[in-house]
Each structure stands twice: as structure tokens, then as C-alpha cells.
Amino acid sequence: MADKENLKVSGYRFGSYQDAGLADEELKKIEYFRKRVDGLTPQNLLAVYDRLLDEKIFKTPLGWEYLREIQGRLYKTGMPEDMVRPIPMYMTFSHDMEEDTEKSKVRQRIRPSRKKKSQNPLRVSVLVNIFLVILVLLMFVITLKSDNPNILNYKQTLTDQYATWEQELSQREQKIREKELELKMEP
């Protein structure tokens, strides 16, 4: 019983705690707007009303009642009906059995095609993944065969480079020693 009492807000019993909480918040918004719109001119009140509709501030019957109240005030001030927009309802309230059975028949016809569509993206996903794995492997092969040092072959590349430098230095030293010997023998 206590649970059902928590779902009641201002004479309405809501189906969930979330809806009841939303209605409670709307009560606070209604109080706020009531204080603000008391002395407004009909044009300003119409602007506030239109803004409330545009921004979809109210989503529960409590908010709709308040919008209806503003509509009544606008009509009492002599505002033409074509200037005051109707309150939009973004949900259905009736459930026609014939319409529901037609929808279920259509849904039954659509279901098998959904399975085919769900298998197709799986195949595409597998093919794309295989392609990407091949690309990654190719990048590793290219990296391993490259002459430039990288994280995979830096040790071997640097060792080869130092060996080449050492060999060049040894050859130059040998040439210099030969020249020195020649110079010593000449006088």
C-alpha cells in the first residue's frame, strides 16, 4: 500500500516511480510559472505559452492541465482561437484491436527479413576484420624488411651500421699507416 501511495501526485496515480517523480517536478515548475505569469499582458502570456509548448516543458497530465489553464486565460482575454496553438499529445490513448492485429500481422511478415539482415552485417564484419588482419601482417612484414631502424629491427640495424663504420675506419687507418711508411722511407 505504501508503494501505491508514493505513485500518487496531485490526484493522479502514476505507473512508475520515475513518472511520479517527473510529475512532482512539474508541480514545482507550475508553481514557478504561476508566480511569473500573473501580471502579464495577453501577448506576453501567449509568448510564454508558445515557449512552453516549443520546449516541451510539461510531459504529464499535471503539466497539460496547467497549459489548459493558460489556454483558458488567453481565450478569456479575447485572444482568437487560431492564435492559440493546441496542446500537442505525443502518445496514443486508444488501442484499436483491429489496428493492433494488423500491426502484428505486418510484424510477423517483417521478422524473417530481419534475420537475414542480421546475418549479412555479421558476414561483412568478418570480412572486414580478415582484411584488417591481413593489412596488419603486411605492415609488420614491410617494417621488418625496411632499412630504416624501427622498434622491431633497431638492434640489428644499429649493429650493422657500427660494423660498417668500424670497417671504414680500419681501412682508413691502414691507408694512413701505409702513407706514413712511405714517407719515412723516402728521405
pTM > 0.75: no
Q: So where are the chain's domains? A: 2-76, 96-145, 148-187
| 8: three-class secondary structure by DSSP | strand
Closest by CA to 15, choosing from 69, 91, 101, 100, is 91
Query: What does the pLDDT read at residue 94?
Result: 67
CA distances from 139 to 59, 135, 144 (A): 56, 6, 9
State the residue for C-alpha cell 640495424. Answer: 157
State the residue for C-alpha cell 506576453. Answer: 44
**pLDDT by residue, tens only, the chain of 187 residues:** 345 666 777 777 877 788 888 888 888 888 888 888 888 888 888 888 888 888 888 888 888 888 888 888 888 888 888 888 888 776 666 666 565 555 555 555 444 444 555 567 788 899 999 999 999 999 988 887 877 777 777 788 889 889 999 999 999 999 999 999 888 887 6
Query: What does the pLDDT read at residue 114?
Result: 46
Query: What does the pLDDT read at residue 1?
Result: 39
* CA–CA gap between residue 44 and residue 142 (Å, rounded): 72
Query: What does the pLDDT read at residue 3?
Result: 57
Query: What does the pLDDT read at residue 103?
Result: 57
